[in-house]
Amino acid sequence: MTTEQFRAALKREPFAPFAVHLADGRSVGVKHPEQVAMSQGGRTVVVVQPDDSWNAIDLLLVTDIEFFGSGDREFPDRRSA
């Protein structure tokens, strides 16, 4: 995934929560754009979770972004394969 594609997901209007799917089968939830910090080069992203844990993600390992609408019953905070 490119940095531009990831930034577009963060800047989507209106913002829609999404899950970042990784090559190793994990998923990382992003409920709000303020949860995310990007490195200066943009290749590395840190997602801070509500419990103050965090995930560092190399955007080259992202396989997909899955968007969730407000009507979805359950938002996956984290899933493992």
- Residue 52 belongs to what domain range? 3-71
Exposed / middle / buried, residue 20 (Cβ in 10 Å: 0-12, 13-18, 19+): buried
Q: What is the pLDDT of residues 3-53, one digit of tens each?
A: 999 999 999 999 999 999 999 999 999 999 999 999 998 899 999 999 999
Q: What is the pTM of this model?
A: 0.82
- Find the mean pLDDT for residues 62-77: 74
* CATH code of the domain containing 20: 2.30.30.100
**3-class DSSP state for residue 12?**
coil
Residue 81: inside a domain, yes or no?
Answer: no
The answer as to whether 77 is a domain residue is no
Note whether residue 78 is domain-resident.
no
- Is residue 42 a part of any domain in this protein? yes
| pLDDT higher than threshold 70 for residue 81 | no
Contacts of 23 (CB under 8 A, 6+ apart): 61, 62, 63
Mean pLDDT value of segment 46-64: 96
> Domain count of the chain?
1
In a domain, 9, yes or no: yes
Q: What is the pLDDT of residue 69?
A: 77
